[in-house]
Amino acid sequence: MRNALVAEYRKLVTTRMWWVLLLACAAYLGFIGAVLGFSLVFAPEQQGGVTLHGIDAATAVYSLTNGIGYVFPLVIGSLAMTTEFRHQTITQSLLVEPRRGVYLGAKLLATVPVGLLYGLVAVTAVVAASAPLLAGWGDGAYLTDGGVLQVLALSVVVIAVWAVVGVAFGSVVTNQVAAIVVILAFTQLVEPIARVALGSFAGLDQVAKFLPGAAADGIVGASFFSSYGSGAGELLPRWAALLVLLGYAAALALIGRYTTLRRDVG
Amino acid sequence: MTQPGPALAVEGLAKSFGPVRAVDDLTFAVRPGAVTGFLGPNGAGKTTTLRMLLGLTRPTAGRTLVGDRPYGEHALPARVVGAALEASSFHPGRTGLAHLEVFAPQVGVSRRRCRDLIDFVGLGGAAHRRVGGYSTGMRQRLALATALLGDPPAIVLDEPANGLDPEGIVWLRRLLRAFADEGRTVLVSSHVLAEVQHTVDDVVIIAAGRLVHASSLADLAGLAAPETYVESPDLPAVERLCAEHAWDVRPGERGLLVLAPSAEVGAAAYRSGVELHQLASRGADLEDVFLRLTGGVRS
Ligand SMILES: Nc1ncnc2c1ncn2[C@@H]1O[C@H](COP(=O)(O)OP(=O)(O)O)[C@@H](O)[C@H]1O
Ligand SMILES: [Mg+2]
């Protein structure tokens, strides 16, 4: 297993994809962080009728890492799997490790360090772009507050978990283009709408918090959505949220193991 | 490598892709210490058979063995069999050396070994170039290096000569010969007999998924009708002679090609006092035998 982990890790870092996407992630999150920080500081009353102040403003901006940034670890994770099928390297991978469960397990775990790096860079980008605005013109950056630091640290963790979910998803949808399209559609469209929609119906708001993005917010303990009280505000407790998101990864990986990886490859 | 290579066995193997019976009740064995050619026209089922041997494709029926167990049941399978499958695929964005280094841990070898191997297969200068820019021949060499990573006692190569330059083919031939002489098991597939004719000791020939012939190369040659090229100032006399012996005759260059061993043709001409200016054995035409066995036609 150890050797399989090293191999999978090397697969990730020996092509340019990981740092190209990492740069894109940093640039995108830095930009969004600056825009949101700017609007909170200079035009707080325009934020959907809700005005955020003090620590709430800081937390709302910092929770962007997960709320907006989770598409990046999902994509890099799914690519780890789908490139193997796109370029047929899966053949060589299974020649050196015919135990397909071990192969998939190693791939899931080997993404963790890369995911943590993405998390670290994403959090840094958001904070670097927004903290000076909050500190200089707003109510403060709150970077020494214990609760805020917890949000930042858990944002790093949650991004790593997203990367693992990405691998698991890629094992189910092995077509690279299809996987990316589904991830983009789901994260940018389906889930945000579903969270708001489910949140607006009395009986269904309990369902919304089990959606993957909401579970991730639950891990962080802060939500870009709930900050604005869109009705999708309720989150799971941290431990339950972590279990739910890991549950998504486990369920997808199991499906991948017994569909994609049970078939003949190549 | 210390001990002799494992025997490879294919037993009652079958594989269907929907209505296509790609491999059909195939049984053969490959012995260590020899180069075995796995031959058959395109679509005969060679790649499918090798994929089943390596645990990549699940057989519809039958089984395959590497030594005493299936490939996947060896603790470090890539240490037992080094394989390069047809159209071996690489990530185009990874360098040749990085490709080897990715798989090195699971084969149980060091980065140093990767470096040595990439030099050994003649890719030293391209080690740090991305595979996307490699020619077909360079990819074949990289595939071979990947197969050799674990210094395996058995080597399975699927159409390794495709895209290789003539110099590379000669190099590969020597390499395979050397491996067999060391006692390793060597199995190479090809759709052209001529390509491996000078390399192999044994042949396994399949067509439409079924075994049509398995023997030593010498025994295969025995199936070929020998031909003799004859030149004579009196060709009509030679033709009459051939008619008497019921030997088939074809016109050739400046004389005749007779479908009979040269010793018999020479003796007959001598007895009848027919003057010959050339009497040359053209040997067995293996390609004809191959085509006859596989139901193909000569191009
Ligand atoms: N994955 C597959 N799906 C459907 N048919 C296949 C597949 N792989 C091979 N075949 C078919 O099986 C037959 C044998 O193919 P193959 O083993 O590649 O032959 P060879 O390597 O001898 O050229 C061919 O008719 C081919 O079209
Ligand atoms: Mg083939």
B78 touches chain A (CB under 8 A): yes
End-to-end CA distance of chain A: 23
Please name the residues in contact with A92: beta carbons below 8 A apart, sequence gap of 6 or more: B88, B89, B103, B146
Residue A90 lies in a domain: yes
Q: Is the separation of the CB atoms in A82 and A177 below 8 Å?
A: no
- Report how far residue B60's alpha carbon sits from residue B12's, in angstroms, rounded to the nearest whole number: 10
Mark yes or no for CB contact B102/A11 under 8 Å.
yes
Per-position pLDDT tens, chain B of length 299: 557 899 999 999 999 999 999 999 999 999 999 999 999 999 999 999 999 999 999 999 999 999 999 999 999 999 999 999 976 689 999 999 999 999 999 999 999 999 999 999 999 999 999 999 999 999 999 999 999 999 999 999 999 988 888 999 999 999 999 999 999 999 999 998 888 888 999 999 999 999 999 999 988 887 877 788 999 999 999 999 999 999 988 888 889 989 888 889 999 999 999 999 999 887 667 777 888 888 865 54
Average pLDDT over residues A207-212: 89
Residue A266 lies in a domain: no
Share of residues in chain A with pLDDT > 90 (%): 64
Residue A236 lies in a domain: yes
Tell me, in angstroms, the distance from the centre of ligand 1 to residue B169's CA.
25
HEC sequence for B62-97: EEEEECCECHHHCCCHHHHEEEECCCCCCCCCCEHH
Query: Which is the CATH superfamily of the domain at B8-221?
Result: P-loop containing nucleotide triphosphate hydrolases (3.40.50.300)
Contacts of B108 in chain A (CB under 8 A): 3
DSSP codes, chain A: -HHHHHHHHHHHHTSTHHHHHHHHHHHHHHHHHHHHHHHHHH-GGGSTT----HHHHHHHHHTHHHHTTTHHHHHHHHHHHHHHHHTTTHHHHHHH---HHHHHHHHHHHHHHHHHHHHHHHHHHHHHHHHHHHHHHSS---TT-HHHHHHHHHHHHHHHHHHHHHHHHHHHS--HHHHHHHHHHIIIIIHHHHHHHHHTSTTTHHHHTTSHHHHHHHHHT--HHHHTT-S------HHHHHHHHHHHHHHHHHHHHHTGGGS---
The single residue listed with the structure tokens 């030593």 is B216
Helices and strands: H and E segment counts in chain B: 11, 13
Q: Do domains B8-221 and B226-294 have the same CATH topology?
A: no
- Which pLDDT tens digit goes with each residue over A91-138? 999 999 999 999 999 999 999 999 999 999 999 999 999 999 888 887
Residue A265 lies in a domain: no
Instruction: Tell me the domain boundaries of chain B.
Output: 8-221, 226-294
- The yes-or-no verdict on residue A228 having pLDDT over 60 is no
B158 touches chain A (CB under 8 A): no
Atom of ligand 1 nearest to the CA of B44: 22
Q: Tell whether ligand 1 has an atom less than 6 A from the beta carbon of residue B272.
A: no
- A7: nearest CB among B51, B90, B103: B103
**What residues pair up with B258 in beta bridges, in sequence order?**
B228, B249
Range in A59-68, A168-177, B233-242 the model is least confident about: A59-68
- pLDDT for A119 equals 96
Residue A158 lies in a domain: yes
Q: Is the separation of the CB atoms in B62 and B26 below 8 Å?
A: yes
Residue A201 lies in a domain: yes
Residue A7 lies in a domain: yes
**Tally of domains in chain A:** 1
Please name the residues in contact with A121: beta carbons below 8 A apart, sequence gap of 6 or more: A22, A25, A26
Q: What is the CATH number of domain B226-294?
A: 3.30.70
**Which ligand has its closest atom nearest to the C-alpha of B49?**
1
Mark yes or no for CB contact A266/B92 under 8 Å.
no
- pLDDT for B299 equals 46
Mutation choice for ligand 1 from B26, B48, B211, CB with most ligand atoms inside 8 A? B48
B91 touches chain A (CB under 8 A): yes
Mark yes or no for CB contact B71/A98 under 8 Å.
yes
Q: Tell whether ligand 1 has an atom less than 6 A from the beta carbon of residue B70.
A: no
Query: Which residues form the domain of A148?
Result: 2-260
Angle between the N-to-C axes of helices A100-137 and A71-86, in degrees from 0 to 180, rounded to the nearest 10: 150
